[in-house]
Amino acid sequence: MNKRKRILEVNDLQTTFFTDSGEIPAVDHINFHLRDGEILGIVGESGCGKSVTSLSVMGLVPSPPGKIVGGEILYNDQDLTRLSEKEMRQIRGNDIAMIFQEPMTSLNPLFTIGNQMVEAILLHEKDWSKKKAQERAVEMLKLVGLPRADALLKDYPHQLSGGMRQRVMIAMALVCNPRILIADEPTTALDVTIQAQILKLMKDLNVRLGTAILLITHDLGVVAESCERVVVMYAGQIIEEAPTKLIFEDPQHPYTKGLIQSVPDMRYKKDRLYSIPGNVPKPGSITSGCRFAARCEFAFERCWKENPELYETADVHQTRCFLYDEGRVKPDVHNAFIES
């Protein structure tokens, strides 16, 4: 039994976008938690609601048209959805920090790295001098493995490579020693070698500083390498949750199985790489039935009429699938993987 304290709890979260076409539920009644010092992965295809979930936690959902319409986000038993923008600014960066997908668009091209880091520090450490803030900035740049940290403070974002900019973003996120770091696709725009370096850096910082990490990605390789537990999202809902080892050894939702089958594996020679048929449905387009039914090879009549709940298939494993409610034969992902 894991005795680490839950420092973040998301309960029945509902984030909706109000558009000319109607209300679009981007995040639909989701529940998950993050423990102190843990690395939790949220995985799924583009359009599944992963990024909107992270923006909801940070209080950064663009409004209008977006709005959190239900549920709660508890940080140290304090509901973040009830805080004012001024109160959230004190938590953002100080207690919960975020790394965005593309560092070039997250860093201001008109200001030096030093200006941006010092501003972030002085926002939360109001009694610090500019010199002390600069020393702290240099310390953090060294911590994330950047050379010539002193000189880097004078550089502009365009003068740095993609990997260096991402390290700067991590340094900025960690500059106030937050308890939680949300990383939204932190390696998407980087080549494979730099991806590995960034992931290793984040894991090292997790161990060294005890920072809990919420890692949002569509890359199952990143999840397998980094995370203790995995939440799988599809069409705004959580459809499976389990420890990482269980997800890969015994995936239970057909969508999770499909994601794993889609990953190239050198152990098996296949003429064609498996792909899940169809596309993620447009948010709000499915009003009844299981949202994965149209793409699922195991769907039966009930799947088209009812939306399944999350069933506990083991003490630490949940899945949103009627196969486990009706006691049907569980599909074997490994045989399917070899045969596909």
The CATH number that applies at residue 132 is 3.40.50.300
8 — alpha (psi -120 to 50), left (phi > 0) or beta? beta
**Residue 109 neighbours by CB under 8 Å, 6+ apart:** 156, 157, 158
- In a shared domain, residues 161 and 277: no
Cis bond before residue 178 (omega within 30° of 0): no
Pair (229, 255) in one structural domain: no
Instruction: Please check whether residue 238 lies inside any domain of the structure.
Output: no
Which residue has better confidence, 38 or 103? 38
Q: What is the pLDDT of residues 95-134, one digit of tens each?
A: 999 888 766 677 888 999 999 999 888 887 778 899 999 9
Residues 273 and 186 in one domain: no
Query: Is there a single domain that holds both residue 39 and residue 187?
Result: yes
On whether the CB atoms of residues 238 and 32 are closer than 8 A, the answer is yes
Do 112 and 37 belong together in one domain? yes
Regarding whether 275 and 221 lie in a shared domain, the answer is no
Nearest to 42 by CA among 234, 199, 191: 234
Would the pTM count as exceeding 0.85? yes
- Give per-residue pLDDT as tens, 281-332: 888 788 789 999 999 988 989 999 999 999 888 778 999 999 887 655 455 5
Report the SS3 class of residue 268: coil
Shared domain check, 160 and 34: yes
57 with 181, same domain?
Answer: yes
In a domain, 85, yes or no: yes
How many domains does the chain contain in total? 2
Domain range for 51: 6-233
Q: At 59, give phi and psi (nearest 5°).
A: 70, 35
pLDDT value at position 291?
93
